Amino acid sequence: MATGLEKALAQQSKLRYADKQYHLENYAHAAEVYEQAFQKKESYPTAVRIAESYSKMRNYDMAYSWWAKVVAFEDAGRDDYYQYLTAAMQAGKGMDVENLLKDSDFEAFDFPEIDFSRLEQLQAERANIKIVSLPAINSSGSDFGTSIDEEGNIYFTSDRGTVISSTKPAIRLDAKNNIFSKEKSDLNDREYFSLYRKDTAGNISLLNILLDKALHVSDPSLTSDGKLIFFTAVTGQKKGNRREDIYNYPGIYFGELNERGEVENVQSLPANNLLEYGVMHPFVDESEGRLYFSSNMPGSIGGYDIYYVAFDSEMNFGDIVNLGSQVNTAGNESHPFRQEEDFFFSSDGHAGLGGLDIFKAKYSGGEFSEVQNIGVPYNSPRDDFAYYVDSKGKTYLSSDRIGGQGLDDVYGIEDLNKKLEAKLIDCDGNPIMEDFEILLTQDGSQSEIPTKIGDSNEILADLEPESNYALQIKKTGFFSIKDSTLSTVGFKEDTLRRTYTLVKIPYQLPVYIDIVYYDLDKSAIRRDAEPILDKIGELMNKYAFLDLLVASHTDSRASHEYNEKLSERRADAVKAYLARYNVDHERIRLEWYGEE
């Protein structure tokens, strides 16, 4: 029978072993051993270690459960409650801060690093899209990260397979480790990640990566022709016979993808330093000649930063460039992707909903600015990453959000909005290319709906379904256009198309001429002139671009000065008459044709 001392020593030994696994970042095994120790004797430090282990594994449900146990101890402090609030967000338990903190001495303002008002704003500004799981790709394991070639084949990462029960430590995908198993990952006791291809017929096959000692392989990024593929890999490096003396970090590799599904002639990215830091999440930007990636190399602002390196057609690589503090934070940034003027990435350092959120920065002239969270439902309280748009405009992302098929899933984005595509032409059928103003509004609202100009200078906008709209187009020197017939009510197609003809205003072109007679030496409007002026008043009231020229003829029986004054009085009489039609005096000009 064991004595109290023997039990205490056994407990200490178990905790020391768990601590070792924790520091080796074998969090799954560490949490298991910590929980065994906690069952023997509940303590605040052990509960913290368990909660931290599950947070590191991004197992948000278990992390929330254990942080709740942590804050139940009297030793719990502000940092513990911060982790508790964060875990609540990540586990989708809402943000009823008052209720979460009811048993503590803290209030919301004690946690300035959490922008509660911004969280509420993100939840309120929900994009009109539908996030759809892709069952043809997803499994019960982790499936994430898409890249699609020009033929429509989808490449992705997966650890599909069985759970391997083992106490052997293993290597992690996204961090260091110095002892590893050739069988599985101790991050979650699942098989290592591999690359798969889903062809256009729906068949899924494993890619054979011809890279020696490769364990984890993930994050495919293909050139447009599908012949060259970049990917992240963790290889089992060692010094001599003692693997435990070193750390193994992920690196980026690239190779040629052949018709047999083999990646051959694999080369290591020069930026790799497998024993010092990680390099991962490649995105090949062919149009700019850049390879973007994330790394925790020396000089990083935070944990993992996003960098790029220029390359040429012979795959010679230039200097490594950090994207800077506009994009990178004290946290982690990952999974870069660029589409024209938008640069997407994931981050847990910028203000988000919980775990990794997807953000968008403006890309112009090689520089990055105006970072913004792309909001709900793209982002969830959990991890959302690997945003990708294929050549046909189909959008994908990966997430471990609640309700998924597996641990991580690939999702497609269905836009519930309709599209407006309006072309502008002149009277000769030529496109109007620039310098026009657009105002698009929805019935019942004065708020302007965002529009943008397409590659062919067409007007583009998103329209909500079952709604009516008004569009105004103005261009200097042309008649304005107002279309109040735009409607998506009952509209079944995806795109509402319109073509508008802008007509030039005929400046200095007479559109109406008539004669008004005055009595001799008089300026009063005669009755026979009223119908003429009434018609002119109606025209000028209807067409604001029309001006009136009053050409006054006098004779030589009076002086020059007298005739000029008489002409002015007659013009003033016309102005006074047209005032009943709200015609501004400035639109009426006088020309005098007196005779000496």
- Map out the domains of the chain as residue ranges: 4-114, 129-415, 418-501, 527-593
Reported as a single tens digit per residue, the pLDDT across 90-132 is 887 767 888 889 889 999 889 888 887 777 777 777 788 889 9
Most confident of 8-17, 176-185, 479-488, 529-538: 479-488
Please provide the average confidence, as pLDDT, over all residues in the chain: 85
pLDDT: which is higher, 566 or 44: 44
- CB of 465 within 8 A of CB of 416? yes
Q: Which CATH superfamily is domain 418-501 in?
A: Carboxypeptidase-like, regulatory domain (2.60.40.1120)
Q: Which CATH superfamily is domain 4-114 in?
A: Tetratricopeptide repeat domain (1.25.40.10)
Cα separation, 596 vs 592, in Å, equals: 12
Q: What is the pLDDT of residue 592?
A: 57
> Is it the case that residue 230 has pLDDT exceeding 60?
yes
pTM of the model as a whole: 0.69
Please state which of the ranges 274-283, 364-373, 557-566 shows the lowest mean pLDDT: 557-566
Which class does domain 129-415 fall in?
A: mainly beta
Mean pLDDT of 334-360: 93
Q: Which of 253, 301, 304 is nearest to 277 (CA)?
A: 304
Mean pLDDT of 171-197: 54
pLDDT: which is higher, 170 or 323: 323
Reported as a single tens digit per residue, the pLDDT across 500-529 is 999 887 766 666 667 776 677 777 888 888
- CB of 463 within 8 A of CB of 417? yes
Cα separation, 5 vs 2, in Å, equals: 8
Sign of CA dihedral 457, 462, 466, 472: negative
Helix 4-23 vs helix 27-40: crossing angle, to nearest 10 = 160
Residues contacting 367, CB < 8 A, separation 6+: none
- CB of 361 within 8 A of CB of 371? yes
Mean pLDDT of 288-307: 96
Sign of CA dihedral 373, 376, 382, 384: negative
Reported as a single tens digit per residue, the pLDDT across 306-325 is 999 999 999 999 999 999 99
Residue % of the chain over a pLDDT of 70? 87
Residue 398 — pLDDT band, cuts 50, 70, 90? very high
Is domain 527-593 in CATH 3.20.20.150, yes or no?
no
Q: Which of 258, 277, 244 is nearest to 24 (CA)?
A: 244
Phi–psi pair at 10, nearest 5 degrees: -65, -40
Reported as a single tens digit per residue, the pLDDT across 430-480 is 998 878 899 999 988 878 999 998 888 899 999 988 899 999 999 988 888
Reported as a single tens digit per residue, the pLDDT across 235-264 is 876 655 554 545 688 999 999 999 999 999
Please state which of the ranges 236-250, 294-308, 405-419, 535-549 shows the lowest mean pLDDT: 236-250
Most confident of 402-416, 542-556, 557-571: 402-416
Q: Which of 316, 366, 391 is nearest to 147 (CA)?
A: 391
Alpha carbon 218 to its chain's center: 23
The angle subtended at Cα 544 by Cα 538 and Cα 547, nearest 5°, is 80
Q: How far is CA 165 from CA 143, 190, 243, in A?
A: 21, 8, 22
Q: What is the pLDDT of residue 596?
A: 45
Cα separation, 181 vs 197, in Å, equals: 26
**b/e map of 268-286 (b: 16 or more CB within 10 Å)?**
ebebbebeebbbbbbbbbe
Q: The sheet that has 437-442: what strands, in order across it? A: 437-442, 468-474, 481-487
- The identity of residue 346, as a single letter, is S
Q: What is the pLDDT of residue 112?
A: 87
Q: What is the pLDDT of residue 160?
A: 87
